[in-house]
Structure 1
Amino acid sequence: MNRNKLLTALLLITALGTGCSKYTDIRTEGAIAPDEYENYRELMNDYYTLNASVDMPDYTSDDVTIKDSLIQHNINIDFLNAYMWGPNYYSVLEEDNDWKRLYAANYSCNLTIRDVMDSKGGSTAQKQEVKAEAMVHRAYLFFTLVNMYGPQYDSATASKDLGVPMLLEPNVSATLTRGTVQQAYDQVFADLEGALPYLPPLNNYNLFPSKAGAYALLARACLQTRQYVKAGLYADSALQLQSTLLDYTTLQPYGYPNTINDPEVILSKIAGGYHSYSNQFLMSDTLLSLYDANDARYSYLTADYTFDYVHYYRAYMKDKNTSSARNIGPSVPEMMLIKAEAAARAGAVTEAMDLLNTLRQKRFTAAHYVPFTAGNAAGALRMVLEERRRELCFHCTRWFDQKRLNKETAFAETITRKNLLTGESFTLAPNSPRYLFPIPLYNIQLSPSLVQNPR
């Protein structure tokens, strides 16, 4: 099948039936013929369901600012609530689209994992690969969910800390209760490790999981659980399979490749919610201070932005500037930065700097490129984390980074924001309960057994 036909098929495939659960608005059981392998293959080809991801963590992170009363007045109230880390982001009658989107995809994964091996048609190897793809997608979903709605992983408390509902069967009538953070991570690691033997090293399209994608997600999970040596090893395994970088200095206006053609994307996950404000994130002063004016990421992916033609701000506008949706799935630069962080934390300063410099050579022209050097491990680590923030801003990673780095005194920060419409100020202290997204009121109303997060 050629590329155009495949893309047409991906865009036209739905869930092979519709319906909703009273809890998560996912398709009902019996929506596909359970005895045909091809149905499960198409279920894992469902671009809309499996590649759409979250975007709310970009509003809660310290990379964004909304310090203009006119903009605050016009922004969607849900995003303003998230920006202020409010007690609830949505009303009782309104659903949390991030929660809904991820659990809808989880249903498809669970159905495939449970039933594909018993389906008719297709070889055993084909069925194992489809099942493995579903396991990788499910691992991504639970990793994202537990880091939004659960506390930062801590080995001393993870077995008691409340995470998210661990729905592992395609049962739309299940009573929802929250599992633990440890259970979520156990499942993430089990799914990724179990999937690896049955995946190709790389897939024809980055929409589909591969060994590189599984290794990359393992690197993410180990980074977030602060297992830095393992994180570096898994990142290296991913880079052994995929390591191409784009040269930003040679990109022409609107020449940025779309996600499916982007050689840096290891596994495509598109920031969900294409609402009116998603393409212009006003960059915080702290984030802006990290950029050199000659950095092609600054000149190519950001631009001056105005809401009223009077007040101008700098905004991250990759969606608009490149006509390409933001990929928030794992990428080559992310793996290089994870490997560099692991090296810096292990005292391998030269290795960490070499990785940073390899990346930065593709972000600066030769005339403006200056190699990084660090005198010690602490300095190297700080430089890696700053580079990570520059490279991955508005990829829904900064919020998770804030949570894990709050465990270290050197990087913990207190953030204050003001609601200019009410005059109220809001403070986000390190390790605050406000780092946990509130469980959607809509779902609590339908399933009272769900325990709300403290605020």
Structure 2
Amino acid sequence: MKRYKIFLLFIVAGTLIQACSKYTDIKTEGALTPSDYVNYRYLMNNRQDLERSVDMPDMTADDIVYNDAAIQQGLSAESRNAYMWAAQYYDVVAADPDWKILYANIYPCNLVIRDVMNSNGGTTQLKKQVLAEARVHRAYSYFTLVNMYGKQYNESSKATDLGVPLLLEPDVAIVATRATVQQAYDQILTDLQAAVPDLPEKNTYNIYPSKAAAYALLARTYLQMGQYVEAEKNADNALMIQSGLLDLSTLSSYPQRTDNPEIILSKTAGMSHQYSAMQVMSSQLLSLYDTKDYRYSYFTSNYTLSGNTYRVYSKEAVIGGNRNIGPSVPEMLLIKAECRARAGDAGGAMSAINTLRAKRFAALDFTPMTATSAADALVKVLQERRRELCFTCIRWFDQKRLFTDSRFAENITRTNFATGETYTLTPGSNRYLFPIPQYNIQLNPSLEQNPR
């Protein structure tokens, strides 16, 4: 391939999220119409963009708390707005970076899906793999978008509940409107199921989608839909390919993301929390940990401000990089455990949980967890999800899907210390829908805002 084509691709792919369009605020200067297969391979190798994901759902979830005026004041205005579940998180001239990143990642995927099979060079098998990788990345983005900005999947109302704009062509001139939740989930499942046959079981690095990654995202999607048989089946499929766990009690140093056997598909949290000491853990979350649990001693630390000491989640400082929020082996074990509990199999649920917990304690400190019933097992599984998956944006999605279950649905109250105002998030509230960015509504009035 000629050098100028490589250079062009670097410029275009590296700046996809810089300028504006009517729906996602992505760059459209120039036309990328390469004829060679290798150009599409490069687009799917663009780790700088495709590995990036979101982080604001950690700010809205109940795993975090800021009961200190100084800490609240230290947050960005956007983060404070999100923390209080405000009517808007960003002002009319500021783009929402989570929305922007996810749609910017969808654009090159659409380009690959449309054109790669007609490109020159490369075998049919290689082209199909690149196409499959694009489908997985697109499915990940749409799953995250619909669960941030759309309503929770509900069988009785999915056909009318608003989801997010569903853009499947690399054409930024399209006037986007919001698809339904059902349409979004149908597309996610279609992409992932179509991708499975053409992916390697494991890819060269975990930044590239694999068969295990497609199964893992199917498991995550079906769990959010409440389809537990399918969720467990796909979690098992992923675990049959990849089941490695880190033994935290024996680690001399934490591996980089690409070397971490637990990560099935690497997706990094957004930039607002990177290396942050501001992820103050709620008392409810902290109460779930045994101090002998290495997830407590290794990934959390004390933070002192104005004479007050708080426990913060400090995994990024430990690993020296941004945290992974993509699907992982622990998440698959937890999905399997939850599905077993919901099927009435308390022993199977605890077996899956103990496989994970045995790697989170020193051998002398580990005691297998037991459950007295399937209902007890479900409570313990969901507690384990919080311990293991905190600050991966999963908790916010769990709060959304569990709101109809009185055992797990709770009111969350927060106080703005600058104004003295108190805000309460109730189960199933419209505040569980992130506001559509006002910036994008100004560009495209066809985008309907979420009720507040």
Q: Under TM normalisation by the shorter chain, which class is it?
A: over 0.9
Moved more, 348-357 or 210-219: 348-357
Moved more, 279-288 or 27-36: 27-36
- Once residues 224 and 14 of structure 1 are traced to their aligned partners in structure 2, the CA distance between those partners, rounded to angstroms, is 37
- Once residues 184 and 115 of structure 1 are traced to their aligned partners in structure 2, the CA distance between those partners, rounded to angstroms, is 22
- Once residues 339 and 76 of structure 1 are traced to their aligned partners in structure 2, the CA distance between those partners, rounded to angstroms, is 38
| TM-aligned CA deviation for residue 208 of structure 1 | 0.4
Q: Deviations over 1:11-65 (max 9, x none)?
A: x955447464423222327543421111100000001111100000000000000
| TM-aligned CA deviation for residue 307 of structure 1 | 3.2
Write the mapping of 1:226-237 to structure 2, written as runs, cut at 5 A: 226-237=226-237
Secondary structure at the residue paired with 1:183? helix
Find the partner of 1:334 among 328, 331, 336.
331
* Equivalent position amino acid for 2:208 in 1: F
Find the partner of 1:261 among 242, 259, 262.
259
Q: Structure 1, unaligned stretches of length 5 or more?
A: 1-8
Write the mapping of 1:426-445 to structure 2, written as runs, cut at 5 A: 426-445=423-442
* Equivalent position amino acid for 2:21 in 1: K
- Once residues 327 and 55 of structure 1 are traced to their aligned partners in structure 2, the CA distance between those partners, rounded to angstroms, is 10
Write the mapping of 1:235-254 to structure 2, written as runs, cut at 5 A: 235-252=235-252
Partner of 2:128: 128
Write the mapping of 1:53-452 to structure 2, written as runs, cut at 5 A: 53-252=53-252, 255-274=253-272, 278=276, 280-308=278-306, 310-452=307-449
Partner of 1:22: 21
Compared CA separation, residues 321 and 397, structure 1 to 2 (3 A)? same
Q: Deviations over 1:115-157 (max 9, x none)?
A: 0011111111111000000000000000000000011100100
* 1:165 and 1:178 in contact (8 A); partners too: yes
- Once residues 234 and 33 of structure 2 are traced to their aligned partners in structure 1, the CA distance between those partners, rounded to angstroms, is 38
Aligned residues: 442
* Equivalent position amino acid for 1:174 in 2: I
* 2:132 and 2:198 in contact (8 A); partners too: yes
- Once residues 396 and 237 of structure 1 are traced to their aligned partners in structure 2, the CA distance between those partners, rounded to angstroms, is 23
| TM-aligned CA deviation for residue 274 of structure 1 | 4.5
| TM-aligned CA deviation for residue 370 of structure 1 | 1.1
* 1:14 and 1:46 in contact (8 A); partners too: no
- Once residues 276 and 328 of structure 1 are traced to their aligned partners in structure 2, the CA distance between those partners, rounded to angstroms, is 13
- Once residues 130 and 75 of structure 1 are traced to their aligned partners in structure 2, the CA distance between those partners, rounded to angstroms, is 40
- Normalised by the length of structure 1, the TM-score is 0.95
* Equivalent position amino acid for 2:89 in 1: Y
Secondary structure at the residue paired with 1:240? helix
- Once residues 332 and 304 of structure 1 are traced to their aligned partners in structure 2, the CA distance between those partners, rounded to angstroms, is 28
- Normalised by the length of structure 2, the TM-score is 0.95
* Equivalent position amino acid for 2:126 in 1: Q
Secondary structure at the residue paired with 1:188? helix
Secondary structure at the residue paired with 1:306? strand
Compared CA separation, residues 187 and 215, structure 1 to 2 (3 A)? same
Secondary structure at the residue paired with 2:39? helix
- Once residues 14 and 303 of structure 2 are traced to their aligned partners in structure 1, the CA distance between those partners, rounded to angstroms, is 42
CA RMSD of aligned residues (A): 1.5
- Once residues 290 and 174 of structure 2 are traced to their aligned partners in structure 1, the CA distance between those partners, rounded to angstroms, is 52
Secondary structure at the residue paired with 1:163? strand
- Once residues 275 and 369 of structure 1 are traced to their aligned partners in structure 2, the CA distance between those partners, rounded to angstroms, is 32
| TM-aligned CA deviation for residue 375 of structure 1 | 1.0
- Once residues 114 and 320 of structure 1 are traced to their aligned partners in structure 2, the CA distance between those partners, rounded to angstroms, is 41
- Once residues 328 and 391 of structure 1 are traced to their aligned partners in structure 2, the CA distance between those partners, rounded to angstroms, is 12
* Equivalent position amino acid for 2:375 in 1: A
* 2:151 and 2:163 in contact (8 A); partners too: yes
* Equivalent position amino acid for 1:394 in 2: F
Compared CA separation, residues 17 and 84, structure 1 to 2 (3 A)? closer
Q: Deviations over 1:392-432 (max 9, x none)?
A: 00011000000001121221111100001100000000000
Partner of 2:3: none
Q: Equivalent pairs: percent with the same residue?
A: 58
- Once residues 321 and 229 of structure 2 are traced to their aligned partners in structure 1, the CA distance between those partners, rounded to angstroms, is 34
* 1:244 and 1:332 in contact (8 A); partners too: yes
* 2:275 and 2:321 in contact (8 A); partners too: no
- Once residues 312 and 143 of structure 1 are traced to their aligned partners in structure 2, the CA distance between those partners, rounded to angstroms, is 37
